[in-house]
Chain A
Amino acid sequence: MKAPHENNGMSRRRFLTLAGGTAGAATLAAMGMAPGWGENRAAFDPDNMDQKTHQTDVLVIGGGMAGLFAAVKAHDAGARVVVLSKGRLGASGQTPFAKGIFAFDAREAGMSLDAFVAEVSRSALGTNNPVYTRQMAEHSAARVAELRDWGFFDSPLCNKAFSRPMEARGIPLIERVMVTHLIEHEGRIAGAAGFTLDDGHLIQVSAKSVVLCTGAGGFKPNGFPICDLTHDGTVMAYRIGAKVTGKEWNDGHPGQAQNPAACFDGWHGMFERKPDVTGVDVRHDLGVELNYVAYTKGAPLPPGPPDRLLGRLDGGPSRPRGFDRPHGPPPPGGGWLTGGPIHRPPLPGADGGAGGGPGGDKGPPGMRGAPVGGSSAGMAIHKSEGLVPINDRCESNIPGLYAAGDALGSYMAGAIYTQIGSSLAGSAVQGAVAGEAAAGYSRGVPMPSVPADKLAQVENEMLAPLRREAGYGPAWVTQTLQGVMIPNFVLYIKKESMLNAALAYIEELRDHHLPMLCAGDLHELRLAHETANMILSAEMKLRASLMRKESRCSHFRIDYPEMDDANWQAWINIHQGADGQMRLEKQPFDRWPA
């Protein structure tokens, strides 16, 4: 017996085309099928799409802060560059909403670079990679100066400022392209493929190197402007053998209980503010404390300044000594220099202290009304999840494939929010580093030549949801996934039984529903691929959360509430085994991957 998702030789749509609409419908009825059965809206014909091909040294995927710098610096290093973006340059992903960018100035900060890195490492409880922490601080002022020249600080909207350096260099930019596949050939990267959302062209780019600047992602949650971010880059890279990390960590931004979907309102107009520059202010924020309070005490949580809401609760997430004030830096001489024992501080009412726009800044949501959790569900701490770097050049384990910003699991700030504004700075810095590295790599390799049958297979996979005569709508599958993953007793307050229960649901979606996702037009085709990516990301989050049998930073296991330094001074890397199964392995904090 065929699986339900296998075509029975002829799609319903083609049958109707061949038989003529009315006659075909009558024939279907005679076969015992109601004409409405399994009807997939045929608003777009996948068999009549034009294809556009491009060749380049460096392909940059993503048009946010990391993508901008990757493109500009790769070009300036002598490479031919093409940029593909799912949305508009500077107007998609989290970049448009991040209103603070950190620039390190030793004199102004009153501390050396070494002292800064050490302070971040203390807050991050060892989860940060100090090489990337230092790199961000070291290069931040130079990137900020370039942004200032381009007019970034002169407007709340950054498309114009981002367009200036792109247009000055004549870098080709193709916007509103859903990239669905990275293409690997003979053990190295060979390009990518996708489709345009407006005119429905297939896009195929042959490239010597690719820089993924695709951001992080979530489960299209309500209250955080990340509904276009579905871990696309990470999952595409995973499917061709890249290692992925950071899936057990959580971004703990709260939203508002009233009108929880209203991102703009929840951030109280901050999205209309011009960006500004932030200084050193190391914290330990935006973990899962608010979720723990709601889990143990119940909702609604009272509104108001978070640090005077609630008293001490036993058994919840811990903070490192010296960082017990939820929204302030450690006191000078407070004992943290020697790295004292972990203790449990009074819990805040809203652990959204260091927010101020996705990407970090100041003034979080949830301060003026009752807060609610899960607004950024499915997303980890900035820079903690994504491709595993094998060195300080943002290079992945696939030759020629680089990643930067939130698509790179650089652990620049560790597994907790340690700083305001460093996230956007890190995207700029890493974009530049990755762009230059990719340009250098491209000089030494020939243009890949991908066999036609491989490209045909990619196209078939890309368009399959349009060709299915029946299946599951991506919106419904997404909603089902949200119902499994977003409640706070799954990923925020974790325990073995619930993680396994959720994993059973997600495996069902992966094995049965993902292969039957259908789409009636290009918008739904995009949603179908986004949904498939979210399913894989959910599986990664659950498996990594099950594996880490301790609590640390933004990962809280109520059945293992203590930090376990004996076993868990390690990150978790995930890759696809030869048998197609998800494999998880530890990587010690102080080492690059083997």
Chain B
Amino acid sequence: MAISSIDGCIGCGTCVQSCPTDVIRMDPRTGKAFIQYVADCQICHLCRMYCPVDAISITPDKSIPVVVSWG
């Protein structure tokens, strides 16, 4: 599942900036970060390491989508 949860976000946006693959975005309604493009998570943990309140959980597994005939 790669990046799996953001719990206790203070809305600083640092994780959005620090994700090399643009997985996390700010939710304009809540002012908090949320996981928008999990398929692109490279499991590098930079978001977790930069998060000032240790809000981000990451698992080592990634569900690779099956190959299909068109997409």
Contact = CB atoms under 8 A, between A and B. Distances in A.
B46 A91 contact: yes
A449 interface: no
Interface stretch (A108-116, A187-195, A220-228, A387-395): A220-228
A476 interface: yes
Contact of A87 (B20, B39, B67): B20
B22 A526 contact: yes
Given A175-B17, A264-B58, A479-B65, A227 B40 contact: yes
Contacts of B22: 176, 197, 228, 523, 526
A358 to B, nearest CB: 10
Contact of A264 (B18, B40, B43, B50): B43
B17 A262 contact: no
Contacts of A527: 40
A222 B25 CA distance: 23
Given A263-B42, A271-B45, A159 B71 contact: no
A97 B45 CA distance: 11
B4 interface: no
A202 interface: no
A479 B67 contact: yes
A374 interface: no
B60 to A, nearest CB: 4
Contacts of A479: 65, 67, 71
B49 A262 contact: no
A272 B49 CA distance: 8
A226 to B, nearest CB: 8
A264 B42 CA distance: 9
B26 to A, nearest CB: 8
B2 interface: yes
Contact of A263 (B17, B39, B44, B49): B44
Contact of A475 (B16, B20, B62, B71): B71
Nearest to B58: A264
Contact of B60 (A96, A259, A477): A259
B43 to A, nearest CB: 5
A262 B60 contact: yes
A156 interface: yes
Nearest to A473: B71
B36 interface: yes
Contacts of A87: 17-20
Contacts of A417: none
Contacts of A157: 46, 49-50
A233 to B, nearest CB: 16
Contacts of A156: 49
A177 to B, nearest CB: 12
A92 interface: yes
B18 A262 contact: no
With most chain A CB atoms within 10 A of its CB, the pick from B20, B60, B62 is: B20
A277 interface: no
A201 to B, nearest CB: 16
Given A197-B22, A261-B62, A261-B64, A227 B42 contact: yes
Contacts of A451: none
Contacts of B36: 523
Interface in A76-98: 87-88, 91-93, 96-97
Given A262-B61, A262-B62, A526-B22, 10 more contacts: A87-B20, A96-B20, A175-B17, A198-B16, A227-B20, A228-B21, A261-B42, A264-B45, A475-B71, A476-B71
7 contacts: A91-B18, A91-B46, A157-B49, A176-B22, A197-B22, A226-B42, A476-B70
Interface of A: 87-88, 91-93, 96-97, 156-157, 159, 175-176, 197-198, 222, 225-228, 259, 261-265, 271-272, 472-473, 475-477, 479-480, 483, 523, 526-527
